[in-house]
Amino acid sequence: MAELADIFNDWQKFYTKSLTAEQYHAINDICACRTPEMGSGVLYSCPNCKTPHFSWQSCGNRNCPKCGNDKITKWLSKRQQELLPVDYYMNTFTLPSELRGLCRRFPKEVYGVFFSAASSALKELALDKRFLGAEIGIIGTLHTWRRDGEFHPHIHFLLPGGGLSKDGCYWVFPKNKKVLIAPTPLAKLFKGKLKAELQKLDLLKFVPKNAWLKKWVVHSKNVGNGMSSFKYLATYMQRIFISNNRIVEYDGTNVTFKYKDSKNGQTHYRTMHALEFMKMFLQHVLPLGFQKTRYYGFLGSARKKVIKDIRTIILINRGQPPSEPEEFKTPFFKCKKCGVKITLINAGARSPPQGAVII
C-alpha cells in the first residue's frame, strides 16, 4: 500500500513552490520516519519464542502519519488522571471563509487570537449565571482542514460538563444536558472578541467587511463521559490531514484518497496529481513552535493539581464516595509469530539483528 512518504520521495524534487522551514522539515521527517535514515531503532524480544522484533525510530514530527497513533496513546495515558465523573461537551468554532486568506498570510498571529478569542468567550459566558455561573476547564485543539483536505480552520474545545463555583466549594452542573453553553450567544461574543483582537494586531484592514455582517456559527454537543470522551478528542488532537490508510491508490503520478462525509457518513474518493496533493497537504503544516493544543481554566497547567479535589467535590455533590479514575489500557506490540506481548530489550539499537521481524 502506498504511503505519504512514497509520494514525497517521488515528487519533492519537482515541487517548485517555495517551502517554509516547517514544510521542508515535515517532508524530510516523513520520508525518513521508521527507515534506516533515522540511524537507530528499538529492539524487542518475544519471551515465548525468543523471536527478535525491530522498529526503526519514529521522526516525532506532528505532521507525520506514522507518529500519530503513538502520540494519541501517550496523550490519553496522561489524561486518565484528569478524568472527571461527568459528561463532556465538544464546542467547535469555525472561522468564516472570508478570513482564510488572512490565516494563510499571518498563520501564527491569526491562529493565536483565534484561540484567545474563542476560549475567552467560553470562559466569560460560563461565569454568567444565566448559563452556568462557574469556572470551567477547557482543552482546545486546532484543525485547518475539511475531510476532503480543503482549507477550513476551526478549533475543537472539550469541556467537562459543569464548572467549579466561584468560592471553589461545589460543582455547578449544566442546566441543559445537551448543551453546556448556548451556541448562539457564544458565536456572537466570539465574533466581537476576534474582531477586537485583529484590530489590535492591525490586521482588521485585510478582512472583507461582509465577514462581520454574516452570522457566525458555533457547534456544541454532548460527547459522553469516561475515557470515551477523551478518546473522542484525541482523534481530533493528533490527527493530521491524511493518514496512510486513507491513500487507496498511487500510480506514480496521481493520488486517490478516501474520506467520509461528515453529514451522512458516506465514503467519497478524490483523485489529484501528486504535486497538487503535496500542495494541499503542506498548507496544513503549522508554524514552527505553534501550540496546536491548549488548556484553560482549571485544566490549565497552573491548576492541574486541583483536579483530584474537583473530582471529590463532584462525587460529594452526587452523594458518591470518591473512587479511582477509569483506567486507560496502553496498547502493546505482540509477537508476529506467536501473539505474545513482546518485551523491550534496547531502545537505541543501531541495526536489526539477523532474523529480526521488522515492525
| Residue 161 DSSP one-character state | S
Inform me whether the pLDDT recorded for 321 exceeds 60.
Answer: no
211 with 165, same domain: the answer is yes
116 with 10, same domain: the answer is no
Decide if 210 is inside a domain.
yes
Give per-residue pLDDT as tens, 325-336: 556 566 778 999
Coarse DSSP helix, strand, coil percentages of the chain, rounded to the nearest 5 percent? 35, 25, 40
Q: Cα–Cα distance between 145 and 261 in angstroms, integer?
A: 13
Question: C-alpha angle 162/137/175, rounded to 5°?
Answer: 15
SS3 230: helix
Give per-residue pLDDT as tens, 147-164: 899 999 999 999 999 999
232 with 213, same domain: the answer is yes
Owning domain of residue 271: 1-26+244-283
> Which of 140, 132, 139, 186 lies closest to 164 in space, CA to CA?
132
Decide if 342 is inside a domain.
no
Q: Cα–Cα distance between 141 and 114 in angstroms, integer?
A: 11
| Strand bridging mode 52-56 / 41-45 | antiparallel
- Residue 356 banded pLDDT, cuts 50, 70, 90: very high
Decide if 335 is inside a domain.
no
> Which of 144, 157, 189 lies closest to 290 in space, CA to CA?
144
What is the predicted pLDDT for the residue at 154? 95
| pTM of the shown model | 0.88
- Residue 304 banded pLDDT, cuts 50, 70, 90: low
Look up cell 524487542; give the residue: 44
134 with 116, same domain: the answer is yes
259-268 contacts at long range (C-beta below 8 A, 24 or more positions apart): 259/147, 259/148, 259/149, 260/147, 261/147, 262/147, 268/148
Decide if 206 is inside a domain.
yes
Give per-residue pLDDT as tens, 49-96: 999 999 999 998 989 988 866 677 777 777 777 888 899 999 999 999
179 with 222, same domain: the answer is yes
126 with 231, same domain: the answer is yes
Decide if 351 is inside a domain.
no
Point out which residues pair with 15 in neighbouring strands. none
92 with 164, same domain: the answer is yes
